[in-house]
Amino acid sequence: MSTRDSYVKNAEKEFAEVQAQLAALAKSAKKAVTAAEKEGSRIVTAAQSRHDEALHRFELLKRAGEESWDSVKTSFESAWTDLRHALGAKA
């Protein structure tokens, strides 16, 4: 076998190995994307839930009478803090 033939055969072998590595990389990347999408969806759902709770507490705050104002305000502030933390803010 000539040097040229040997070189081509070796390059073909290396390309086959690289193709296998690329396929493995693509599979790994797809798994990572799927996992990230699931985690992102979980985070958004949790933040939306905290938003809904804070909005509910805010509506209660707007209607609170003098006798319940402090208690309702404290409840709203707690829900607001939870929402801000869910969004990554420092409250």
Residue ranges of the chain whose pLDDT lies below 50: 91
Residue entry with tokens 């929402």: 83
Report the pLDDT value the prediction gives residue 90, as an integer from 0 to 100: 60
Residue entry with tokens 């839930």: 49
Report the pLDDT value the prediction gives residue 89, as an integer from 0 to 100: 75
Reported pTM: 0.70
Quick check: 87 and 69 in contact, CB under 8 A? no
CA proximity to 72, closest of 86, 85, 59: 59
